Amino acid sequence: MEFLPYIVMALAVVFLISRMKPTAGVRQITTAELKQELKDKNKQFIDVRTPMEYKGNHIRQFQNIPLNTIGNNTNKLSKEKEIIVICQSGMRSNAADKQLKKAGFTKLTNVKSGMNAW
């Protein structure tokens, strides 16, 4: 019983690391690399921040589809085109990539450090 707090702490750390770990099969790019990608009209750019965050500051090419609505908006996205996802720090975009991957999207890119690095 005296080990229980350590076991709980270890499980919490494993959970947090798994949430922050990049999604397998999802390309990771920096904001410097994103600047080159923005020129490609055959890519879809999704910003998964809240509408208020998006309104405050966003990249023109990005469409706002908040993370909590991504599952209901997959019909707006093409599985044929690459989807580049951004958020404020890279965590929500990684979560969105996981959801999109489960929905059958295969051409996914996450912007590391998100708008914080922009």
Which residues, 6+ apart, have CB-to-CB distance to 24 below 8 Å? none
Q: Beta strands 108-111 and 27-29: pairing type?
A: parallel
Known catalytic membership, residue 108: no
Buried b (16+ CB within 10 A) or exposed e, 22-59: ebeebeebebeebeeeeeeeeebbbbbbbeebbeeebb
List 48, 70, 87, 111, catalytic entry? 87
Kindly list the catalytic residues.
Answer: 87
